[in-house]
Amino acid sequence: MTPAVSPPRGSLSLIDLGSLLFLGAVWGAVFLFLRVAAPQVGPVWAAEIRLAIGAAVLVAIAGRQTLAAAGGRIATFVVVGAMFSAVPFTFISFATLTLPAGFAALLNAATPLFTALVGAAFLGSRLGPRVVAGLGVGVAAVVFLVGWSPLEPNATTILAVAAGLGAPASYAIAGNYTRAKMAGVPPLELATGMLVAGALVALPVALLTGPRARRRPTGLCR
């Protein structure tokens, strides 16, 4: 029997490159908007509003398909929604109360580092020499970024940085969990169920915390 040969990987097309750049721009802009919204309504409400808007749009597009895909997976969707959206979005919102938007976005780039570590620790993923070298460079970059930041190294800044790193850690756990438990769920239905579950998980916390009026932060684009 002849072993199956995977098809060669094609080069990145202009459409793929444009989509990637657009996705990066949209994702990066989130940090700027949260930097404005979180001090006004509170970090949990900023995350909840973001989740509710996204969930409403996706439900209008793929609500029925998501209900079918969620059959027998309600608890799994709740876990994914909490760890992939409610928890990290709240952490990012909390971090942007103190950190400049650009700084918070750079901390979020630690997601691949945490993903590789979680996969190796709990799923038995092997870390080759190139992966280990990449992790080392990434850790050094995070340490350099935090250590050379112009922000005052007080307790508030440390908590904000911890929240900024807690978001990619949550993404890493959710990503590995999703790969293990929800490999057969189509991406659109997965995203819809994730945001709906995340919005439902964050809502009680938002109601308990209530909005907080704070002064508008300065230096939004730093």
CA distance 107 to 80: 21
pLDDT tens readout for residues 96-117: 998 888 888 888 878 877 877 7
Give mean pLDDT, residues 169-173. 92
pLDDT tens readout for residues 105-164: 888 878 877 877 777 766 666 767 776 777 777 667 666 666 566 677 788 888 998 999
Give mean pLDDT, residues 19-45. 87
219: pLDDT confidence band, cut at 50, 70 and 90? Answer: very low
CA of residue 104 relative to chain centroid, distance: 12
Is residue 48 a contact partner of residue 209, using CB atoms and an 8 Å limit?
Answer: no
Contacts of 26 (CB under 8 A, 6+ apart): none
Q: 14-41 and 87-95 are packed helices; what angle lies between their axes, rounded to 10 degrees?
A: 70
Q: Determine the straight-line distance between the first and last CA of the chain, rounded to whole angstroms.
A: 60
Distances (CA, A) of 6 to 2, 9, 179, 183, 213: 12, 9, 21, 19, 56
